[in-house]
């Protein structure tokens, strides 16, 4: 692996949609900068730097107030770049406008987790995508969930075809779960398709499972229809899910869109999907403000 890749749009358009005051982009990442924060030796892709300055400029451009920075697989279990970005989100008022989700070595002790909490981390991520990680040891993952600081959650990234296999593992996790990108359903199946129905069964199994209504650019037949709006399959499959589970849905840009270098999405278009999956102001307020605040800034509510 030698060539560094760019997966983000160089000049995203201004969205037509204006998010409500206090809106949270609850799924985004930072890459590097590599000179300070080298990528993991096990990284499956080698991106160009996409650091906090770029992320926060995008936040302002798109009309958001806060970010939840999710540790990307290319940084392995070294969360230094994510923590640096959270620290840099502090404004002149001393208030940090970002929090984060870490990826940890499951052997991490309570002191290590407490240090992450102090630095703004509120959850850990388990990644089950074979194209992104070499192994995902369920027993060790379960072990660390018993040591998490109060009010933390687990973020899980998996693909629809392993949902059933993961059910016993997820059932055993003793803290709230947040599912990345809805577990990657095939949105072409529609709102009542096999994947969405299996995902609904998962949500129905526990009150404390949340999900991210994210990634039209990844999930909507990119290769077939070509990139770009209108992402109709995504809107049709996801809007009913958002309506039916409106107190458990959060949203994010997924910037800088790891592994989407062949289909670079315009973040302005991604933001303009929001009213298509959450049509009312009340739903938008829940998805973009109330729900992510409950997970990441509960002390402010
Ligand atoms: O589908 C992906 O390639 C992807 C990768 C990562 C990561 O590398 O952490 O994060 C995501 O949210 C999505």
- For ligand 1, what atom is nearest to the CA of residue 184? 1
Q: 1 burial class (0-12, 13-18, 19+ CB within 10 angstroms)?
A: exposed
CA 284 to each of CA 40, 178, 244: distance values in angstroms, whole numbers, following the listed order: 37, 18, 14
Task: Give the per-residue pLDDT at 180.
Answer: 98
Which segments in the chain show pLDDT lower than 50? 224
Secondary element (H or E) of residue 155: strand 153-157
254 is catalytic: yes
Distance 92 CA to ligand 1 centre (A): 32
- Atom 4 of ligand 1: nearest residue by CA position: 258
Report yes or no: 87 and 96 within 8 Å, Cβ to Cβ: yes
Catalytic residue among 180, 186, 254, 272: 254
State the Cα–Cα distance between residues 105 and 119, nearest whole angstrom. 17
Q: Is the CB–ligand 1 distance for residue 259 below 6 Å?
A: yes
Task: Give the per-residue pLDDT at 232.
Answer: 92
State the Cα–Cα distance between residues 134 and 132, nearest whole angstrom. 7
Q: Is the CB–ligand 1 distance for residue 81 below 6 Å?
A: no
Task: Give the per-residue pLDDT at 1.
Answer: 55
Tally Cβ neighbours within 10 Å of residue 115: 13
CA 184 to each of CA 14, 45, 53, 174, 228: distance values in angstroms, whole numbers, following the listed order: 27, 20, 29, 23, 18
Q: Is the CB–ligand 1 distance for residue 73 below 6 Å?
A: yes
Task: Give the per-residue pLDDT at 55.
Answer: 98
Pocket mutation for ligand 1, best pick of 132, 156, 260 (most atoms within 8 Å of C-beta)? 132
Q: Taking each helix axis as running N to C, give the angle between helix 80-88 and helix 52-62, from 0 to 180 degrees, rounded to the nearest 10.
A: 50
As a dihedral over the C-alpha atoms of residue 27, residue 113, residue 127, residue 254, rounded to 10 degrees, the angle is 10
Question: pTM value?
Answer: 0.97
Residues belonging to the chain: 301
Q: Which domains does the chain have, with CATH numbers?
A: 104-300 (3.20.20.140)
Task: Give the per-residue pLDDT at 227.
Answer: 58
- For ligand 1, what atom is nearest to the CA of residue 44? 8
Q: Is the CB–ligand 1 distance for residue 278 below 6 Å?
A: no
Spatial CB neighbours of 29, under 8 Å, sequence gap ≥ 6: 50, 69, 70, 71, 72, 82, 254, 255, 256, 258
Pocket mutation for ligand 1, best pick of 78, 157, 181, 184 (most atoms within 8 Å of C-beta)? 157
Burial 280-299 (b: 16+ CB within 10 A, else e): eeebbbbbbbbbbbbbbbee
In the numeric block, the tokens 């379960």 are attached to 142
Distance 293 CA to ligand 1 centre (A): 23
Distance 161 CA to ligand 1 centre (A): 17
Phi-psi bin for 120: left (phi > 0), alpha (psi -120 to 50), beta? left
Secondary element (H or E) of residue 66: strand 66-70
Partners of 124 in beta bridges: 102, 154
In the numeric block, the tokens 């809805």 are attached to 182
Q: Is the CB–ligand 1 distance for residue 132 below 6 Å?
A: yes
Closest CA to 8 of 42, 48, 35: 48
Task: Give the per-residue pLDDT at 263.
Answer: 87
Six-digit token string for 273:
């999907």
Report yes or no: 300 and 255 within 8 Å, Cβ to Cβ: no
Q: Is the CB–ligand 1 distance for residue 180 below 6 Å?
A: yes
């Amino acid at each position: 692996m030698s060539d560094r890749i760019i997966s983000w749009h160089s000049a995203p358009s201004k969205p037509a949609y204006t998010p409500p005051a206090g809106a949270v982009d609850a799924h985004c990442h930072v890459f590097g900068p590599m000179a300070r924060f080298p990528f993991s030796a096990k990284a499956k892709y080698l991106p160009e730097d996409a650091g906090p300055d770029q992320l926060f400029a995008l936040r302002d451009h798109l009309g958001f107030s806060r970010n939840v920075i999710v540790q990307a697989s290319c940084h392995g279990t070294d969360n230094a770049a994510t923590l640096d970005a959270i620290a840099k989100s502090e404004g002149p008022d001393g208030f940090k406008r970002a929090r984060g989700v870490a990826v940890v070595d499951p052997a991490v002790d309570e002191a290590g987790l407490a240090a992450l909490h102090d630095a703004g981390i509120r959850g850990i991520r388990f990644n089950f995508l074979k194209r992104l990680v070499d192994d995902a040891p369920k027993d060790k993952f379960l072990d660390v969930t018993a040591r998490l600081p109060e009010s933390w959650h687990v973020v899980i990234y998996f693909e629809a075809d392993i949902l059933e296999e993961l059910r016993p593992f997820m059932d055993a996790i003793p803290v709230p779960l947040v599912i990345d990108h809805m577990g990657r359903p095939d949105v072409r199946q529609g709102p009542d398709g096999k994947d969405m129905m299996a995902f609904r069964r998962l949500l129905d199994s526990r009150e404390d499972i949340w999900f991210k209504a994210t990634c039209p650019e990844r999930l909507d037949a990119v290769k077939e229809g070509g990139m770009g709006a209108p992402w109709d399959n995504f809107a049709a499959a996801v809007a009913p899910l958002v309506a039916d589970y409106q107190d458990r849905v959060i949203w994010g840009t997924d910037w800088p869109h790891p592994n989407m270098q062949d289909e670079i999405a315009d973040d302005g278009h991604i933001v303009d999907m929001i009213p298509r999956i959450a049509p009312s102001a009340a739903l938008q307020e829940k998805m973009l403000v109330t729900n992510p605040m409950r997970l990441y800034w509960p002390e402010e509510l």
